[in-house]
């Protein structure tokens, strides 16, 4: 049995919410306030959780202006033994032409006008049935379904200390070995023997005698009080009743604590957290033979990246054993490390109170795309799951320069939650399709689109004819190869249909909230040269062969000569870094600082002057940039950075 579907109405951020879960790992990712914690809390409110936390419904759990909320959990693949537990609560549905039993659990809460001890009374009800009209679900049934929950920012050391109801005591008490004959009695007898040694200790005896005398001086004469010092109740195992033995056994376990290492007891928070999660997994294995469900918020807490990977591997591959069901886990995370190592199909992106599963059939990805992305989705690229906007680029030049250019245009990408993801020259379409929902391209379905704005910066990859290495092209450097034939035929031999097909293909996979911005010339660097940064880029070349003024007068030949010099020394990355510094220097205005004792009028005038300086610098830079780059920054940030005359949308959008 596993939790298949969660449906929520009116709970916190959720208006109408539904998500299907995988029967094993579910990694919930997304930015803050996207609904990750609300989803975990909804599940544990409905199921209850095996933890010391007391769950109480608050007024803040109700969505704004609503007085009711409902949480429905649907469980599938119910075994015969489980069906016996839920027999009166089962719903029989036809699945793939076969009647199957499923279990619906409906948790409902409603605010009332009644106050109890100053707090609003909130009425709750838990019922079965597809519509919530089945019989009430008993506490025993909910206890069977109870999940293990680990809260964020948990105090692992405190959880492993001894005390009433400690988690360590629950882990130990669930051990199969304690079901063997004599094991508990041996433990009790060991404590009773230790108690005898304590009583016989000279220091204890002397202190006890003084206590007795003090007590006799305070009490009425003739009272037969005879105090005793002991570890835990009972001095004779034979005289203990079964109930007393259970109480003594539990009391012993609750006095134990778990330490990370016997040779060095002082360890950091990370290892304490890892130890705590290890004990929780053990408890799940021991107690949840039928329905192991683990809910963890931020499993990466206090763990460095390599330990995060080990933990993820453990819950995916190492949990349980022969004959035991796999662990179903729902984890929320802000860690790109975990997102990069989890199978893509097990990731669920949360955004604005909606869930967008990445599993096959939910996205526009093809099966072979999943195979590719499983292999090449590293930590840097996994960062895209946490962004509000993504700029997918094909090389280091864009990766280095785009953030700098955006900042100088007054749109720092980090201020808008935008990430730049460098995927190389061949895989950008696969990464872009992650953000497209399958079968929802029509604008009528826009409410179901993943709201993350994605723009792919693409090179045109059509060489100018003068770039060909040839006696007639003094600046040419591209060596002709037969495989290059497609470039010339589609662009320069007058075949308009081929060129259009080439450009249209470059625009894939535009659609939904994914846009493709295509350079109007060759490559990113070449476009920067052609559109106004020729001198700045030429200055980054360490040892130019001729001064800039001596380059060809023809604009195309000059651009080819500059780009050829960069390519000749494999200097694209170095050029990008150098140009980034040059742009920072040239287009960052020197602003007037606040003056001591300046008046409000002076402050207003200074601010106006500084704003004018910033606008002038931004305008000057815009004039030197290709419009496709400006449109890309405009799209992902929602700002207007496009220069005058470039406002029109490109034809492919």
Q: How many CA atoms lie within 13 A of 139 on its CB side?
A: 0
Q: Are residues 45 and 184 part of one domain? A: no
Residue 381 lies in a domain: yes
Residue 499 lies in a domain: yes
Contacts of 69 (CB under 8 A, 6+ apart): 8, 9, 10, 11, 61, 62, 63, 108, 109
Q: For the beta carbon of residue 16, count every other beta carbon within 10 angstroms.
A: 10
Sign of the alpha-carbon dihedral angle for 59, 63, 66, 71: negative
- Give pLDDT tens digits for 39-70: 999 999 998 776 555 678 889 999 988 999 99
Q: Are residues 566 and 598 part of one domain? A: no
**Mean of pLDDT over the chain:** 84
Please give the residue that has the higher pLDDT: either 454 or 426: 454
- The reported pLDDT for the residue numbered 563 is 94
Strand residue runs (E) in 334-388: 347-351, 354-357
What mean pLDDT is predicted for residues 28-36? 92
Residue 260 lies in a domain: no
Sign of the alpha-carbon dihedral angle for 39, 44, 45, 51: negative
What mean pLDDT is predicted for residues 612-629? 95
What is the CATH number for 314?
3.40.50.300
Judged by DSSP in three states, 312 sits in helix
Q: Are residues 494 and 418 part of one domain? A: yes
651 pLDDT tier (thresholds 50, 70, 90): very low
One DSSP character per residue, 223-277 reads --------SSS-S-GGG--HHHHHHHHHHHHHT----S-SS-----HHHHHHHHH
Q: Is the pLDDT of residue 145 over 50?
A: yes
What mean pLDDT is predicted for residues 255-281? 61
Share of the chain above pLDDT 90, in %: 45
Q: Are residues 202 and 109 part of one domain? A: no
Q: Is the pLDDT of residue 281 over 80?
A: no
- Give pLDDT tens digits for 102-116: 999 999 999 988 888
Q: Are residues 451 and 323 part of one domain? A: no
Q: Is the pLDDT of residue 264 over 60?
A: no
Please give the residue that has the higher pLDDT: either 76 or 256: 76
- Greatest mean pLDDT among 155-164, 532-541, 566-575: 532-541
Residue 328 lies in a domain: yes
Judged by DSSP in three states, 623 sits in coil
- Give pLDDT tens digits for 485-508: 766 665 555 677 878 888 888 888
420 pLDDT tier (thresholds 50, 70, 90): very high
Cα–Cα–Cα angle for 353, 354, 358, nearest 5°? 140
Number of domains in the chain: 4
Q: Is the pLDDT of residue 175 over 50?
A: yes
Domain boundary, last residue among 300, 326, 355: 355
Lowest average pLDDT, out of 51-60, 163-172, 427-436, goes to: 163-172
Q: Are residues 525 and 458 part of one domain? A: yes
Please give the residue that has the higher pLDDT: either 581 or 372: 581
Residue 518 lies in a domain: yes
CA–CA gap between residue 233 and residue 57 (Å, rounded): 39
Give 99's strand partners: 94
- The reported pLDDT for the residue numbered 259 is 65
Residue 239 lies in a domain: yes
650 pLDDT tier (thresholds 50, 70, 90): very low
Lowest average pLDDT, out of 118-127, 201-210, 618-627, goes to: 201-210
Residue with tokens 């003056």: 595
Q: Are residues 117 and 103 part of one domain? A: yes
Q: Are residues 409 and 534 part of one domain? A: yes
Residue 68 lies in a domain: yes
Please give the residue that has the higher pLDDT: either 179 or 354: 354
Q: Are residues 239 and 342 part of one domain? A: no
Q: Are residues 441 and 387 part of one domain? A: yes
What mean pLDDT is predicted for residues 252-280? 63
Contact 530, 559 (CB under 8 A): yes
Q: Are residues 47 and 151 part of one domain? A: yes
Residue 415 structure tokens: 């201020």
Please give the residue that has the higher pLDDT: either 586 or 99: 586
Strand residue runs (E) in 148-250: 148-150
Please give the residue that has the higher pLDDT: either 269 or 510: 510
Residue 515 structure tokens: 């846009």
163 pLDDT tier (thresholds 50, 70, 90): low
Share of the chain above pLDDT 70, in %: 83
The boundaries of the domain holding residue 185 are 170-254
pTM for the complete prediction?
A: 0.81
What mean pLDDT is predicted for residues 223-230? 70
CA–CA gap between residue 213 and residue 117 (Å, rounded): 47
- Give pLDDT tens digits for 355-385: 999 999 999 999 899 988 888 888 888 888 9
288 pLDDT tier (thresholds 50, 70, 90): low
Q: For the beta carbon of residue 65, count every other beta carbon within 10 angstroms.
A: 6
Domain boundary, last residue among 328, 355, 382: 355
Q: How many CA atoms lie within 13 A of 394 on its CB side?
A: 19
Q: Is the pLDDT of residue 137 over 80?
A: yes
- The reported pLDDT for the residue numbered 97 is 81
Lowest average pLDDT, out of 82-86, 116-120, 162-166, 635-639, goes to: 162-166
Q: Are residues 432 and 318 part of one domain? A: no
- The reported pLDDT for the residue numbered 515 is 95
Residue 532 lies in a domain: yes
Domain boundary, last residue among 307, 334, 355: 355
């Amino acid at each position: 049995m596993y939790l298949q579907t969660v449906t929520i109405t009116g709970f916190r951020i959720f208006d109408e919410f539904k998500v299907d879960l995988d029967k094993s790992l579910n990694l919930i990712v997304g930015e803050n306030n996207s609904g990750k914690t609300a989803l975990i809390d909804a599940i544990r409110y409905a199921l209850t959780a095996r933890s010391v936390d007391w769950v109480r419904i608050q007024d803040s759990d109700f969505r704004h202006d609503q007085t009711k909320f409902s949480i429905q959990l649907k469980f599938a693949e119910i075994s015969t033994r489980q069906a016996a537990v839920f027999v009166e609560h089962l719903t029989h549905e036809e699945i793939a032409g076969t009647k199957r039993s499923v279990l619906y659990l409906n948790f409902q809460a409603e605010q009332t006008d009644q106050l109890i001890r100053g707090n609003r009374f909130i009425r709750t009800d838990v019922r079965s049935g597809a519509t919530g009209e089945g019989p009430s679900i008993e506490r025993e049934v909910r206890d069977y379904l109870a999940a293990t929950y680990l809260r964020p920012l948990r105090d692992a050391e405190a959880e492993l200390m001894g005390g009433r109801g400690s988690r360590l005591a629950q882990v130990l008490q669930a051990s199969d070995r304690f079901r063997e004959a004599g094991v508990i009695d041996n433990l009790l007898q060991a404590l009773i023997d230790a108690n005898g040694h304590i009583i016989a200790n000279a220091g204890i005896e002397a202190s006890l005698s003084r206590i007795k005398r003090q007590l006799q001086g305070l009490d009425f004469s003739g009272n037969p009080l005879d105090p005793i010092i002991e570890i835990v109740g009972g001095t004779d195992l034979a005289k203990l009743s079964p109930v007393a033995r259970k109480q003594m056994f539990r009391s012993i376990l609750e006095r134990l604590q778990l330490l990370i290492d016997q040779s060095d007891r002082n360890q950091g928070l990370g290892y304490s957290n890892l130890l705590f999660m290890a004990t929780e997994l053990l408890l799940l294995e021991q107690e949840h033979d039928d329905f192991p469900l683990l809910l963890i918020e931020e499993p990466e807490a206090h763990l460095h990246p390599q330990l995060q990977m080990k933990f993820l591997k453990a819950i995916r591959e190492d949990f349980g054993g022969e004959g035991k069901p796999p662990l179903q886990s729902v984890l929320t995370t802000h860690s790109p490390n975990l997102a990069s190592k989890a199978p893509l199909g097990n990731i669920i992106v949360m955004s604005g109170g909606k869930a967008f599963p990445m599993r096959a059939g939910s996205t526009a990805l093809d099966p072979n795309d999943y195979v590719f992305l499983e292999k090449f989705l590293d930590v840097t690229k996994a960062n895209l799951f946490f962004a509000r906007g993504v700029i997918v680029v094909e090389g280091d030049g864009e990766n280095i320069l785009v953030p700098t250019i955006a900042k100088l245009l007054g749109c720092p990408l980090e201020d808008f939650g935008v990430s730049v993801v460098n995927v190389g020259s061949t895989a950008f379409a696969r990464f872009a399709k992650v953000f497209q929902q399958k079968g929802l391209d029509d604008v009528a379905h826009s409410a179901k689109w993943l709201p993350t704005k994605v723009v792919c910066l693409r090179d045109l990859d059509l060489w100018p004819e003068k770039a060909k290495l040839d006696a007639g092209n003094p600046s040419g450097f591209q060596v002709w190869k037969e495989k290059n034939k497609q470039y010339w035929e589609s662009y320069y031999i007058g075949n308009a249909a081929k060129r259009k097909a080439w450009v249209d293909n470059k625009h894939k996979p535009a659609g939904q909230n994914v846009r493709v911005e295509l350079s109007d010339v060759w490559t990113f660097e070449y476009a920067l040269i052609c559109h106004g940064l020729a001198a700045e880029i030429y200055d980054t070349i360490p040892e130019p062969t001729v001064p800039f003024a001596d380059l060809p007068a023809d604009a195309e030949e000059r651009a080819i000569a500059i780009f050829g010099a960069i390519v000749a020394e494999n200097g694209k990355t170095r050029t990008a870094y150098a140009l980034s510094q040059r742009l920072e220097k040239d287009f960052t205005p020197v602003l007037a600082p606040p003056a001591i004792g300046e008046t409000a009028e002076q402050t207003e005038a200074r601010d106006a002057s500084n704003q004018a300086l910033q606008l002038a610098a931004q305008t000057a830079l815009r004039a030197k940039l290709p419009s496709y780059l400006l449109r890309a920054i405009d799209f992902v940030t929602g700002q207007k950075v496009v220069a005058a005359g470039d406002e029109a949308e490109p034809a492919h959008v």
